[in-house]
Amino acid sequence: MPVDPVNASFPGSPASAPGIAGNGAGCGLALGYLVFAVRKPSRWERFCHDMLGLPEPVSNPDGSHGYRMDGAMQRLIVAEGAEDDLAALGLVCEDDTVFDALAARLRGMHIPVEEGSPPLRASRRVQRLMAIRDPDGNAVELAVGMEAAPVPFVSGAFSSGFHTGRLGMGHAVLVSHRLEAMEAFYTGVLGFGVSERLATKVGPMDIRGIFLHCNERHHSVAIFDMPLQKRMQHFMLQAEDVCDVGMAFERAKLAKVPISLNMGQHPHPDGTISFYGVTPSGFDFEIGAGCKEIEPRGWQPLHTTVTSSWGHKPSLRLQMKMAASMLASAVKGGSRAKQ
Ligand SMILES: [Fe+2]
């Protein structure tokens, strides 16, 4: 009988997910692409060009636009949609063997899998694709064979380019109020490992989080329990050169892109120097550099109570947004309690 991933529990762990390990350093996956459904695609076009410094997008058969940031044809896929949020998390397998082993594992766990149709594969520009849902209902697309761009990547804004390769395009941070179920899914089903667990306070807001790795990148996916309404909290692109991060920060201020967290550095073992701003859809982006890699083999999860070793001072705008979110959650909780 098929398992409903939204209500199921996955008591697995990376160690119990044999056959989906790649080359031994992680589970053979990487964050390959992100798909956003956005209300104002023209604003995103300007944002991707002016703020992120990405070249002209490609048009896909489903009407979405794909932006590249390295040798792949697309990494950020922007489609028109009312959600203004994450539409799909694209995890790429390092080869067909990993893809096949993962497919067999999903079958063995009776998890419903939607085979990627030819039109979907054409729009994602991948050779093979299967889609599942995580416990929060986020679409997770598992793919292999990303289409390569015919010419090298060049960006005037990020002259040294972005750090991607086998580490993937950066990271995605999801919002969830079912942290344990999400952790069990990403570790027990997909084979991620836990890099760190976070419990902290930002202003009056309590935040719990988990940072998950699938290769040497400290986290390709993180999940935060915090009072936000969106699925996506932020995504991060890693520049090769920290100077490009500083210039992007200056560019954001000049273009009046709302800043959430000023320049700062995440503590060891991550070490990323970055800043955070707001996308045209209201969730955040992070541009960073200097991300330290971890050794997934034998990694023991760490616990942390701090998100930054210096800087990352929240803007007044973010403080007000957090206060409004907390108030909205309290009102929602209160009206639920009265029912
Ligand atoms: Fe981040």
| Domains along the chain with CATH numbers | 15-323 (3.10.180.10)
Per-residue three-class SS string for 231-254: CEEEEEEEECCHHHHHHHHHHHHH
For residue 8, name the pLDDT band (cuts at 50, 70, 90).
low
Ligand 1 centre distance from Cα of residue 219 (Å): 9
Residue whose entry in the numeric block shows the structure tokens 């209160």? 334
Of residues 134, 125, 119, the one with CA closest to residue 88: 134
pLDDT of residue 293: 97
Mean pLDDT of 44-50: 97
CA distance 320 to 316: 6
Ligand 1 is an ion; residues with CB less than 5 A from it: 236, 286
CA distance 182 to 10: 9
CA distance 232 to 221: 11
CA angle, 333 then 201 then 7, to 5°? 45
Predicted model pTM: 0.92
Ligand 1 centre distance from Cα of residue 31 (Å): 13
The sign of the torsion formed by the CA atoms of 57, 52, 270, 322 equals negative
pLDDT of residue 9: 55
Ligand 1 centre distance from Cα of residue 233 (Å): 9
Ligand 1 centre distance from Cα of residue 334 (Å): 31
Q: What mean pLDDT is reported for the chain?
A: 91
State the virtual CA torsion across 136, 201, 316, 53 in degrees, nearest 10: -50
Mean pLDDT of 107-132: 98
Residue whose entry in the numeric block shows the structure tokens 């793919």? 143
